[in-house]
Amino acid sequence: MPELEIIDWGRTRYNEAFEKQKARVGQRKAGECSDALIFTEHEPVYTMGLRKGADAHLIWKEAALAEQGIEVFKSNRGGDITYHGPGQIVGYPIISLQDRKDLHAYLRDIEEVVIRTLSRFGLQSARREGKTGIWLETRKICAIGVAVRSWVTYHGFALNVDPDMNHFNGIVPCGITDGTVTSLSNELGYSINIDEVKAALAVEFKEVLANTTVNHD
């Protein structure tokens, strides 16, 4: 596959990153740039996906949101409501699926990238039947919600490394009623260097996507 560019936007507000994503998608559609895996950490925000009833899963009212410094944003990604904030790696793959045109297979690839990455840190995670994202039994550690425009992907995944877990109390995360959310630091009992996790994700992303592309040729 063409060389994958790894980009780190650092800390961003969600709406600003959304506009930058859309600009990159336009460039990729026009052939003005290569495929990219973009990393960022968002300022605290609850984002609502397109799933019906997602807004009903916002628990905290305006006063609590203001006190915690959390914004609310309606997104066009798939899925329910979720939280983004510092200590969480958000990955935005902006890649062309023009030669594959299989969004379901792409989602499986994203899941595989996260599963392989977590295994590097001694965590055996998995998909959960009928649920999105990546799980450790009934504890969700990574949310996934993607979109595609003219077969160029955007949005992506959010992996909890060491975020403020209290902020998940303000929502029903991803509409989960039969499980909880967790993070790498919670599971391991110590803090993890977030740059180390980004590096592992980049390696696994290149490996999984390259093998998938070969298999589809």
Distance from the Cα of residue 115 to its chain's centroid = 13
Which pTM was predicted?
0.91
Total of domains in the chain: 1
Question: In this structure, what token pair is assigned to residue 142?
Answer: 């990574």
The pLDDT score that the predictor gives to residue 215 is 39
Whether 142 sits among the annotated catalytic residues: the reply is no
- pLDDT at position 212 is 62
CATH number for position 109: 3.30.930.10
Q: Residue 100: what pLDDT?
A: 87
Domain limits for position 165: 5-216
Nearest to residue 186, comparing CAs of 120, 132, 141, 131? 141
Helix (H, G, I), strand (E, B), or coil: what is residue 8?
strand
pLDDT tens by residue, the chain, 217 residues: 458 999 999 999 999 999 999 999 999 999 999 999 999 999 999 998 888 888 889 999 999 999 999 999 988 877 788 899 999 999 999 999 998 899 999 999 999 999 999 999 999 998 888 778 999 999 999 999 889 999 999 999 999 999 999 999 999 876 777 788 999 999 999 999 999 999 999 999 999 987 665 433 3
Q: Is 215 helix (H, G, I), strand (E, B) or coil?
A: helix
Instruction: Give the model confidence (pLDDT) of 17-34 as tens digits.
Output: 999 999 999 999 999 999
Q: Which of 38, 174, 176, 209 is catalytic?
A: 174
SS3 199: helix
